[in-house]
Every structure is written in structure tokens, then in C-alpha cells.
Chain A
Amino acid sequence: MSLISTLARLEAVDSGRAQPLATVRHRHLTDRPLVLVPLTTAGEAGAPLGALVGTDRAAPRLLAVPQPRDRDLRFAFLAELAEAVLPHIEAYADAVEPAERNEVDPGTGKKVKVEVELCADAAQLIVPSRAGIDFVRLLGRSMRFRRTVEDDPDTPFPAPARVPLLGRWLTHYGERARVPGSSLLLAATDLVNRHWATGQSSLEDQHLGALLAWVDPPGGSGAEAALRAELERDRDGQLICPPAGPATDPAFDNKLLAPAIERYDRARSALGAAEDGLDADTRLGELSGAEREIRSLLAGVLLPTWDAVWRGLDLLRELPEGTRAQDRWTRDRWSFTGHRDRVLAGEPPQPRRDDAVTAAQKLASRETAQAQLDAQEALDDPLVLAGRRLAGEAFVGEVTEVEMAYSESKRPSPRPLVTVRTEERPHLGERTKVYRSLDGDPVRSQTAEFVAYATGETEDGEEAVGLVLRIMDRMGRGKEPAPGSVPEPGDRIAWTLFEHDQRGGPKLPDPEDTPWTHGGPPGAVGPGTAERPDPVTPEDLL
């Protein structure tokens, strides 16, 4: 946490309301995000208990597992989840626009432009909390290696038809969520935390109800509302604002859920023991009654979280989207399209563990994404830039003097010297490069080199430093710089010490060209190493 966001937190404590950490929205939100609020069973590490899912806040679809230890009911849940999620994803996968991509021609080895399809938009998935993202990853892992009857008629417990496909998509979303700045799969708590500082610790900020109470308190103090959201219980000892899950509150598990599941179990064994048709009919009625009860219990604890996620999204939509967030969303669309193509091409599911080459590539791309995100957020948002200015990685200053100078080559090009007055203390060394953006263009930036500190000159007794910068590029090809390409006295300009367009390091070699020392154990990649499904045992969790 930087000092500037610590200060924001302290201001929030003082005022009882969350304070802004951003002036624009740094994550893209689609028009129709799919919200998924999952629940797991306590003590059964990972077994799903229920979920609310949907794109319409007024009409969530409730999925429930009345007995989480029953494999058939779990499969039914997963099949229903696939039915709810996959059509949404596929709707986006089908709408494409033409795009170009650079590829190396295998024959000539030259770079050529290839016409490819790019999905016009991608399906966005929102879960309440970071634990929800982990749960999506876990669900993906548990489903993608399952075999259906079509894959293998002899498989002992065949999975419903579309479950493995859902597993692959959820795995992709879970992996993509690890890329800094990506918006395919987002947690509502992360979204809100990125844009507001509350007066509580980051640990407590993981509670969605308390977090929203700070940002948008229902009247009065956010601190008090957050405390109520965290602790208030009704007469039966149940939390008014249930945890955002996937874990449930122990009081709910013990007092309400466990007895309901027990009634369901009893009704089910009674149905199994029914002697004639009439008896079976009554028993069936009891069973569906018990199931309805569990469903309504789950709906009771899921709905507040469902509403909270949508409220969080509403709050975020009030902020204008950052200019460069669109660029990151385009990357998400490429990632979405790439996975769609892999599924269409019939490639096997993602392996259990990445091989050395894939892992190195993923790491490198995440590092680039992080650098890109840091730069883009600072350029989009003066409040984020303020943090970088405080850290000495950027500065804002007024141009006081411009002196023409030329390079010493045969054909002299303009290298004007610009004196900038600033009260800030950027970390400048000899010939340190600084950058500024040109006319609000999000991509193009002009480079300058630090030359020296200007001496003397302190007007009205204020302590100000003069920095002499030499402009290096973007001035056209002529002897005189192109109009508007050199700052003029009086201009107030933000300079950064980091590049605006962050490119990663050199490209890693293809797997075929990777030396064996860096390619992992021999034979780890290639055909014949397709992943086997998990062995099924009588007591599986998922």
C-alpha cells in the first residue's frame, strides 16, 4: 500500500465514508456480465452446495445440491451450471469481426499479416469475492478431465455431456484472472477495493457487505453500517448480511442447513422403502418438500450477496471508464477468441501442470501485463499518477524556457532544450529518459532526456527546481520541428519516468527451438501424453 492510499484510508476512518482511490474506472465492464454466486459445503472442502447465476439481476437462476455428498446430485448441479453458463459464452463466441494478426510464415520465415476472426465482445464473469475466483478455478479443474458417455462408453461414472466443456472454459477464465488488469473474470470485492479506500484493513475489505457499507452506506456513517453488515444477527442467530461465500456461516450450517439436509435424507430413504405406488406418491411429495426447503434456505443466504454484487457493479458504472481500459479489454477478447479456437479445433483440455515453456511464457506475459497496467492506470487517472509522483516516478511541471538546439550529426535534427519548473523530486540521473503523451493520444508518447538541473531562479521565494530536458523524437523529419511537437513556455506537462507503451522483453523461442536445458523433462510435451481423467472413488468431493 502506498502512502497516498494509506492516507485515503485514514481519511475514510476520519470521515466514516470510503474515499476515492481512482477517478476513472480501471476495469472494463460489459453490458451483460454473467454474475455467479457460488456456495460450498462446510467441511467438505470444495463440494458445491448451491449457486445463483444469471445476467438479469431481477431473475437469478438458483441451483442447489440438496445432499452435497451425493455424486449424482453434484453432477446434476454441474450439468445445470453448464446449461446456465455455456449458452452465454457461446453467444459471444459466435459474434466475430475480422482482424489482423502478425504471424511468421513457416515457408519464408517472414512476418505476414493474417486475416483472423476476433470475437466482437467477450463473455464477462463476475463473482463476489476472491475466494469465488479460486472456486471457479477449482470447479474448472474438477470438470475438465471428466469423461462423458460419448468420450468413453465404459467410464464408471460418466459426466453429463457439457460438463467437461464448462470445465475447460472455467479453467480458462480462472487462468486469465491471474493476468493483471484482465477483466474476463472479476471479483466484486477486488473491483470495489481498486476504486475506493475504506477505513478498515484490507483483510476486512474482503467482506463484500461491509465494503459496500463503507462506499455507499444506507444513511449515516459507513463505519457503523460496515460493523452492522459484519456482525448483526437476527433473532435466530443468523447473520443479516451473510458472508459472500463460497463458505457459509457456521451458525447457518448448524442451525438451519444440517437439519434440512437430514430431513431430506430421511425423506429419500423413506421413498426408497415405500411399499406401493400410493405410499411412494406421498413420500415423493415429502422429498420434494424437503428439497424445496433446502432451496429456499440457500436462496435466503445467496440473494443478499447477489444483490450486493449488482450494487457494486452499479457503483462502478457511475465512474467513467479509463481510456486505456478498452485496450486491455481487447487483449481479453483475444484471449477469449484464442480459447474458443482451441476448443473448436478439438484440442485436449488444459494440462494439470504447465510444461516449462508454457509456464515461462505465462509468467513473462503476466509481468508485461503488470507493467502495462501500472503505466496505463497512471496515465488514465491523475489520482494514480499522484501516487507515482510521490514515489518519484513521474512529475508535473510548467515549461519556463525553450531553447532550440540541434544534434551533432551530418544532418542536424532538432533537439530542443526545455526547462521545466517543478516542486517535485523525481529520481533523475544523467540521461534518464522521461516521457509525455502527445495530444491525448493514448499510444504515442514523446521521449526526452534529462540534461541537468537549472541553477538559480527562485521566484516569489518558493522552492522550485528547474529541470532541463532534451526532446528526442516525434518532431517530424524536417530541420524545424513540426508545429505543436515542442512544448511552449507556460505549458503544464506531466512527465513520467516509465514508458507509456510497455513492451515485454524479447520474445521467447518456440517450444521446438527451446534448448533442452530450458524445456523441462524430455517427452513432457507432445502427443501420447494427453491427460488421463481423475480416477473416480466412492467418496469424491467434486
Chain B
Amino acid sequence: MIDALGAPQSLLLLGGTSDIALAIARRYAAVRTLRVVLAARPTPRRSAAAAELAELGCTVEEVDLEARDAFSREAAIEQAFAGGDIDVAVVAFGLLGDAEQAWTDPALVSELAEVNYVAPVHLGVLLSNKMKAQSHGRIVALSSVAGERVRRSNFVYGSTKAGMDAFYLGLGEALRGTGVQVLVVRPGFVKSKMTDGLPAAPLAVTPQEVAEATVAGVKEKREIIWVPAPMRVVMSGLRHVPRPLFRRLPI
């Protein structure tokens, strides 16, 4: 159960080795003993993450999740909820890919669509069915400002995030009155393993900052947050820039 101070006692991380997901787990572990289900590929990185969270006092369960595989997704959700209620579930995996290759390589574009859109929405339905039955819980969807106004430089990635973002906002509406809530998190550029080697954009944030904002968003029952918060204003402006001007912007 999420306690009176907004801290969950069970946390499911889909994409359990993501920097942001682990930062969220660390923040919760600092205030409460909790059960963490790490759903990810069985890699040394997952084992290391499990060991670290166990060290912080968490009860950790490792669950295999191959995001491209629908059966694996279903099995992972079944396994995660078999151990009891899940209070907060974070959909944290995603694939950035090389932007130029992505719009020219049919294989890569399909993969991005599968991992960044099909898998999240499939999991969103699986999660909401489970959570509706328990009548409580929060689903956190890690979206991106890249989906808010899709730009030429990474429009494939942006389009997948636009789709999943819209889905989760709609899911939150559909779940009103069920006791289950959805939080869509729209970070700007996050300095993480996903963006390793890329030059940081303005208003870049760390996974810790995204985690902090997410934890606060869950506590305050927010439906959508931007990280950093001023990004909301920036994106609001960018949404209204005319196309001839937008394409000249160095972004």
C-alpha cells in the first residue's frame, strides 16, 4: 500500500536496469523498506542492480522481461503480481537508436516502434487490468519531451514517445474512479546510459533529478510532469512555433 506519506511498499520496474528506474528505487528505499521487482533482461547489470537494492534494505525479485516479446511481457506481469499487490509500476525502458539510421532502416524503425510504443502500451493494458483488480496503484510512464513536438533530428524516437505519451494520458483518464492513477513523466535531455556520448542539450537533467520529480509527482497524485519543471514552458512555446521557423531552430 502507498502510505500516508506517499511512499509505496512495492515497486515494479519495467526496464529494471534503466538509470531513472533505479534512481527512483533508491529514493524510495531511503524512506521505507520496500519490495522491488526488477523486470529486465537477465544480464549482469540486472544482478548488480538487484544486489545494490538489496544492500539498501529492499526485498528484490528479479523477473525476466524481453520487451520485444509479447509472451515475455505477459509472463513478467503475472510473475510480478504473483508476489502481492504492486503499488507503483514504472514503465522505464526505451530505445533511442541512431536517428538517421532509424528513418532509413526498416528493421530499426520496426524495432523502435515495437520497443518504444507496442511494448509500453501492451504493458499498460496488462498493468491496468491487474491494478484495477486491486483498486489501487500508480502507473508511471517515462515519456519524453521529444514526443511533444516532434522534430526532424529524431522524429522516429519522438513519434514513438508521442504515441506512448498519448496512450498513457488516455489510460489515466480511462482509469479515473478505479483507484488506479497514471503519471506521465516528460523529461528533457537526461544524462544517462541511453544518451551516453551525445552532447547534452540545454536544460539537461540527471536520472536522480527525474527520480526526485517522479517521487514527488506520485506523492502529489499528479497526472503529468515535466523535468525540469521549466521545460513545460519551453515546450509550450515550441508547440506554437510555425513550421518554417521551427525547422530553422538548432534543435
The answer to whether A and B interact is: no
Q: Which residues of A contact B (CB under 8 A)?
A: none
Binding site for A on B (CB under 8 A): none
